[in-house]
Structure 1
Amino acid sequence: MTTLSRIIGILILTILIFLTSCSSDDDTATIPVSNETMTNAELTAYFTTLAENTEVPGFAISIVKDGTIVYQNAVGYANIENEEAYTNQTVNFIASLSKTFVGTATAKAIEEGYFTLDTNINELLPKPISNPKQPEAVITVRHLVTHTSGLVDNVESYLAHNYYILPEENVTTTGANILKDATGLEQRAARSLEDFLANYFLENGDLYSTDNFANVKPGEVWNYSNTGTALMGYIIETVTEQSFYDYVKQNILAPLHMNASTFNINEVNINATATCYLEQGIPLPKYAFDSYPEGGLYTNNEDMGNYLLEMSKGLSGDTTSLFGSSLYDMLFDYQLPNGIVPSNFADNHGLFWYAHNNLWAHGGNDPGVSTYIELADDGSWGYSMLSNMDAVFGANEAKYLQVKEKIEKGIQVYLESN
């Protein structure tokens, strides 16, 4: 397997890691539990020790329980070289955890009457998209939000012609050279979401290939699709006649007071964001991607706490802040017949959310970024995690899974004792 194939494989197959249990010796941190309760200070001490004794640069955690944010803190470094602390205000893009926001935006657009889950996407797009391997197939909104559309990520074009290093970045560093060599990324200006998708899905496009499509009937085979998610974002953009990032800001971020969050990279002070690390001592250059709805939300732990709380209340039926209760039900309802989603991955699908073992969850991994969100299916508790740790290159996936396991262990002890 080529390095490029390895990277895209990890991006797709470990983007959600809530199913993975990684056995490891519990020698990096001891959970300091008192006889009755584990305090917030004790949990922070545990996380601090974990960051100091592992290769994670920094991370931030929010925890909700019974309709309240009960814990919110960050440890480690946003920038190791400058000894800049990772804080609740540190901005990080969150990779594929962003897809849950696409799901929420889809629910809002459905409530506003723009389409239904069963609407043919070609009724919504300015130019129709046809799967050359299944030319008579009808792709619906439901297929996009459950990764069953038959629209897939072609390794050769999804990374090298979608991701890009930002123009002002130093591309002579060790991290930049590794990123360029492994993925073929270029340093360039952004291209529009519409241009990327047209080039990828339309026959006259520069990136068009039959490899962009699977020979399957929509709804019958699960195939994780970043490009399909980006297309869902573009559909929302098309039907609402406003940019996807403006629609999300107006209908999700602003109502939840997520004032530091945006999908619009032009609104971000890139120099103030967390530095992404391949490993300690090897920072990566700042990068982005044209298919931004599928992974490009910038946010911080303070804002993510608000989102986590809203989703927990949505599951428990205690909010209508974003839309009516029936839409929260849709967001977290099984959308597929049993057996479509691989059993080692999830039980079923909501609107981009995954269900497994009485949990709803989603994660995200891009070079130098690892994120995760998990909620009890009754909304009684949940947590989110942001970090600038890599889980894509080499042995970093296993290292990250070990760190995540220890984070979860601390969270569960905390929840059980409070």
Structure 2
Amino acid sequence: MSTLSRTLVPLILSIALALTSCSTNDDGIGISEPSSIKNTNDLDAYLGELVQTTAVPGMAISIVKGNSIVYQKSFGYANIQNQLAYTNETINSIASVSKTFVGAAVAKAIEQGYFTLETEINDILPIDVVNPKQPNGTIKIKHLVTHTSGLLDVPEVYLAYNYHILPEEDIATAGADLLMNEIGIEQRESYSLEEFLSAYFLEDGDLYSLNNFADTPPGSSWSYSNLATGLTGYIIETVTGQSFDDYVKENILQPLQMNSSTYDILEINTDEMAMRYINEDTPLPIYANDSYPEGSMYTTNGDMGKYLLNMVKGIRGESTALFSSDSYNLLFAPLLADGTVPQDFAENHGLFWYSQDGKVLHGGNSFGVSTHMEIDQSGTSGYVLMTNMDAAFNGNLQKYLTVKIKVANAISEFLEAID
């Protein structure tokens, strides 16, 4: 792994947690707030107008109520230049909503007896991950899944060295130029999960720095960490003897018949994949990231509807499709009893899921993709939103948040109408 010196330009790059926030600022979007949504046709009309009058290229939504998918539609374009419609079969990356699959994998691995939440990670890793600022601190599985491990993302390193443009992609484009020259992303082959994480967390690694670690004991402070999530995936690889993507496929995707979903970008027919956009005139080349468990699930609206339905049933204690009811409870319940997450934290956790305002949820964004998934804590309903709209660059986050709050309001009105 080469060592290069890069400077990240002052673009505003949001992380997944920013996408859970709400805004009522229309930011110049001309569509009115939803009103009088009484049925599917009304919701179709509203969301269709929303896509036509905003900066979102394409959008897909699945809504679950009770034991049924009550709405599943797609709007706009997977490829604007080719006028290719976004459909329920369009493949879209889901960014940090991928972390919910890491959570499910952890719940399954615990149920299979590979480790517990109290297991020290260096008892099961083939490499020792030590925080040099807290050398006597003991990092446990529970710290990884609640973002309290003290293992940090350094944004310049995380973006420029983890992300990479696939070798066969055309880089003579404005989108490629933006990623390569503004952010510092290379065009190259992928590194293995072990290679990348070793370079970042081991003292002799090319990407090692004291900045990769917090000067706080494990469990005492919260800091959202993509790379700690990637490390969780590597732990599952280590204890199961399978690649993380194969483990998820066997234990989560196949039982739910999510046959169009994968972590392996090489399995994807790129003709069926939504183009990712910075704006309507700037598509991006296909890129991947080495720490793939935390942000590189590729899926469809059809498949995410199946996943959402199972999660809604699971939170009610009415599913054993993936694991026992106790494991579903572990997946969603805030880990507060043992002090893992102090009561005054803004976000309470299950296994990577957040509990906030009566919902369990996770949002995500990456370059040219923004997503959101949430479920009522009672398990009565939930929805998934997938878009090929950017919320990473300066000015784009507010546009996406405006779209998201309008979608959420429309869905709320729809669910009330079909009671």
Tell me the TM-score normalized by structure 1.
0.94
- Structure 1 residue 210 corresponds to structure 2 residue 210: yes
- Structure 1 residue 321 corresponds to structure 2 residue 321: yes
Q: How do residues 21-36 of structure 1 correspond to structure 2 at under 5 angstroms?
A: 21-24=23-26, 27-29=30-32, 31=34, 33=36
**CA distance in 1 between partners of 2:260 and 2:363 (Å):** 20
Cα shift readout 1:76-121 (whole Å, capped 9, x = no counterpart): 0000000000000000111000000000000000000000001000
Q: Which residue of 2 aligns with 1:4?
A: 8
SS at match of 2:160: coil
Q: Which residue of 2 aligns with 1:119?
A: 119
Greater Cα offset, 170-179 or 146-155: 170-179
Deviation at 1:360, TM superposition (A): 0.3
Deviation at 1:415, TM superposition (A): 0.4
Q: Structure 1: which amino acid aligns with 2:299?
A: T
Q: Which residue of 2 aligns with 1:158?
A: 158
- Structure 1 residue 103 corresponds to structure 2 residue 103: yes
CA contact (8 A) 1:315 1:329 kept: yes
CA contact (8 A) 1:199 1:208 kept: yes
Q: Structure 1: which amino acid aligns with 2:21?
A: L
Greater Cα offset, 209-218 or 225-234: 209-218
Gaps of 5+ in 2: 1-5
Q: Which residue of 2 aligns with 1:132?
A: 132
Deviation at 1:28, TM superposition (A): 1.1
Q: How do residues 298-313 of structure 1 correspond to structure 2 at under 5 angstroms?
A: 298-313=298-313
**CA distance in 1 between partners of 2:396 and 2:344 (Å):** 24
Q: Structure 2: which amino acid aligns with 1:110?
A: I
Deviation at 1:15, TM superposition (A): 3.9
**CA distance in 2 between partners of 1:353 and 1:10 (Å):** 22
**CA distance in 1 between partners of 2:365 and 2:377 (Å):** 23
**CA distance in 1 between partners of 2:381 and 2:7 (Å):** 39
Q: Structure 2: which amino acid aligns with 1:196?
A: F
Q: Which residue of 2 aligns with 1:242?
A: 242
Cα shift readout 1:32-91 (whole Å, capped 9, x = no counterpart): 626xxx221221111110000001001000000012110000000000000000000000
Task: State the identity as a percent.
Answer: 52
Tell me the TM-score normalized by structure 2.
0.94
Q: Structure 1: which amino acid aligns with 2:19?
A: I
CA contact (8 A) 1:160 1:183 kept: yes
User: Residues 79, 148 of structure 1: CA spacing in aligned structure 2 closer, same or farther, 3 A cutoff?
Assistant: same
**CA distance in 2 between partners of 1:3 and 1:314 (Å):** 45
**CA distance in 2 between partners of 1:361 and 1:384 (Å):** 10
Q: Structure 1: which amino acid aligns with 2:160?
A: A
SS at match of 1:159: helix
**CA distance in 1 between partners of 2:79 and 2:34 (Å):** 26
User: Residues 375, 16 of structure 1: CA spacing in aligned structure 2 closer, same or farther, 3 A cutoff?
Assistant: farther
Question: Over the residues paired in the alignment, what is the CA RMSD in angstroms?
Answer: 1.8
Cα shift readout 1:139-192 (whole Å, capped 9, x = no counterpart): 000000000000001123211111001111111211111122221001001110
Q: Which residue of 2 aligns with 1:352?
A: 352
- Structure 1 residue 199 corresponds to structure 2 residue 196: no
CA contact (8 A) 2:121 2:139 kept: yes
CA contact (8 A) 2:362 2:372 kept: yes
CA contact (8 A) 2:152 2:227 kept: yes
**CA distance in 1 between partners of 2:400 and 2:80 (Å):** 18
**CA distance in 1 between partners of 2:165 and 2:77 (Å):** 22
**CA distance in 2 between partners of 1:325 and 1:65 (Å):** 20
Q: Structure 2: which amino acid aligns with 1:404?
A: K
Q: Which residue of 2 aligns with 1:389?
A: 389
Q: Which residue of 2 aligns with 1:399?
A: 399
Q: How do residues 288-299 of structure 1 correspond to structure 2 at under 5 angstroms?
A: 288-299=288-299
Cα shift readout 1:278-302 (whole Å, capped 9, x = no counterpart): 0111111111100000000000000
